[in-house]
Structure 1
């Protein structure tokens, strides 16, 4: 496959220069253009995106591929002027491992009272916390895609009681996973979640789903882990649920505004654990390779294997 003439990196949040070395190695003949120096838009054939500027890709008549640098494409779908061009997401086996490690840490960190142990150690105090067997702690995973299933298998292996919810029925699920699907079964699913892990795709239906009505269906004192998107969460509702004791804590890795502003109330809430969107990352080499693979299929007249159904959102 010949290299595209020009590849543009589009983002309103980050400079994207961390991808330059990998793309130069994979596309040695292509011209790479980064935010602030895009040049003539009618020369761009591939757009590599993370929250691209709205309306910009509509000005690229030769565009053949829109490549997300992550597993989600909600940041691309948000563009009302998005042209009729294949949009592809990243599928990375290492992403599943990274997400699994993060979610298992987040579950055990709170369920085993590790925050309290760290505070005791810092103060030089030998203090024990209640010990609960993993089988007595119910972990619910909302979203049983590739990442959700990887987390479910790992948590089952650690001995946790694991349940999962998806919009439609899933088949071939791991043994021991209690499965729920659809709106009719969502309340039953939530009522059995001592910890709730959000791994849903961000769509019009799931935006703001982590809100008071959902929190009220969880057992009192439940733990929320959001490794989906920041816009899944209604932030004021979370703070109110923590203040009332309906939620006992939250571990958040994704936020509506990133970086999270220094004055944001989450920073001063001791029951919220914050990480800077690092639950999992895809290596630049993998992103470049998948871009090449997707473009080759599109140029050969075949659908890219990871092209997104923009109506469904994933």
Structure 2
């Protein structure tokens, strides 16, 4: 039977190990501090790998990534070549991301920032927000997460636009692809939702230049909105602060940051039109993670192909 090594920064490794041991009877589950032969490890289940995470693991069959995003893993200097990487992508994680996107789109479409300011000023102004179908939501990234967000947003009647690296056809969505169509996508977008994978091409893509290209006055005559639930590396936070201050952006919802935790002296904390959450939009749960990766291992041991294998050249 296979041996599984757990290497999970920021998680309770012992708890995950108990879950895997129960789900994989007859398999050996080991932690970083245990006594084991690195050459005997078949699978490594990993999150935020240390520099020595892969040392001696010469017989790996697969690297199992706890996150849906694998950018940090792909940057690892000692990532074993030729070993398939499986990313976590299940219904629970996908639903959690769609929950986050939908909640924040609704919040901004219903002008929560304006009403929050009215509340603080004890000001009673009966402004009625525009209907959902008058608001254009543009989603950057049309993979599994992006398409599920589209499915949820359709129910509310939003005008939907999508942008991806390669052309996609999605019913009820005006789609754009590649650099040549990026500005056209931005120009018709009121609420910009980023669900892109982080690659060298998308690093820093959320910057002042693209904010200035979003549609002006589309939400009750006010500026556009940014929602980033993908990776902190996508955004330039100094540009977001500037845009939120000068009206280029009306508001922003940020779940990820260039450096995490977000520094206490970051100016983002003090902005009442910036909604901050601590990277929890689509947190991986232990229950579903154990079930998903246990099945991956059992199926692979039975000769079935690995699911959700990362294309290392594309970065996702």
TM-score (structure 1 length as normaliser): 0.89
Matched residues, number? 308
Q: Equivalent residue of 1:9, what SS?
A: strand
Displacement of 1:178 in angstroms is 0.8
Describe the shift of the 1:257–1:38 C-alpha distance in structure 2 as closer, same or farther (beyond 3 A): farther
Displacement of 1:164 in angstroms is 0.5
Q: Which runs of 5+ in 1 are unaligned?
A: none
Please list, as runs of the form range in 1=range in 2, the aligned pairs for 1:166-177 lying within 5 A after superposition: 166-171=164-169, 173-174=170-171, 176-177=172-173
Please list, as runs of the form range in 1=range in 2, the aligned pairs for 1:169-188 lying within 5 A after superposition: 169-171=167-169, 173-174=170-171, 176-188=172-184
Q: Within 2, Cα distance between the matches of 1:123 and 1:38?
A: 58
Q: Within 1, Cα distance between the matches of 2:42 and 2:19?
A: 18
Q: Within 1, Cα distance between the matches of 2:190 and 2:45?
A: 39
Displacement of 1:82 in angstroms is 0.6
Partner of 1:215: 211
Of 63, 73, 78, the residue aligned with 1:76 is 73
Q: Within 1, Cα distance between the matches of 2:14 and 2:271?
A: 34
Partner of 2:155: 157
Displacement of 1:59 in angstroms is 2.8
Partner of 1:23: 20
* Aligned 8 A contact 2:44 2:60 in 1: yes
Please list, as runs of the form range in 1=range in 2, the aligned pairs for 1:99-118 lying within 5 A after superposition: 99-118=97-116
TM-score (structure 2 length as normaliser): 0.88
Q: Within 1, Cα distance between the matches of 2:247 and 2:56?
A: 50
Describe the shift of the 1:118–1:168 C-alpha distance in structure 2 as closer, same or farther (beyond 3 A): same
Of 53, 60, 65, the residue aligned with 2:62 is 65
Describe the shift of the 1:303–1:10 C-alpha distance in structure 2 as closer, same or farther (beyond 3 A): same
Q: Within 2, Cα distance between the matches of 1:30 and 1:313?
A: 31
Deviations 1:222-242 (A, max 9, x none): 100001111111111111222
Describe the shift of the 1:53–1:158 C-alpha distance in structure 2 as closer, same or farther (beyond 3 A): same
* Aligned 8 A contact 2:161 2:175 in 1: yes
Q: Which runs of 5+ in 2 are unaligned?
A: 217-222
Deviation larger for 279-288 or 236-245:
279-288
Q: Does 1:53 align with 2:50?
A: yes
Deviations 1:57-101 (A, max 9, x none): 143123222111121111211112210311101121122222222
Describe the shift of the 1:29–1:119 C-alpha distance in structure 2 as closer, same or farther (beyond 3 A): farther
Q: Within 2, Cα distance between the matches of 1:245 and 1:116?
A: 13
* Aligned 8 A contact 1:137 1:161 in 2: yes
Q: Within 2, Cα distance between the matches of 1:140 and 1:18?
A: 39
Deviations 1:171-212 (A, max 9, x none): 3x12x2111111111110011111100000111111111112
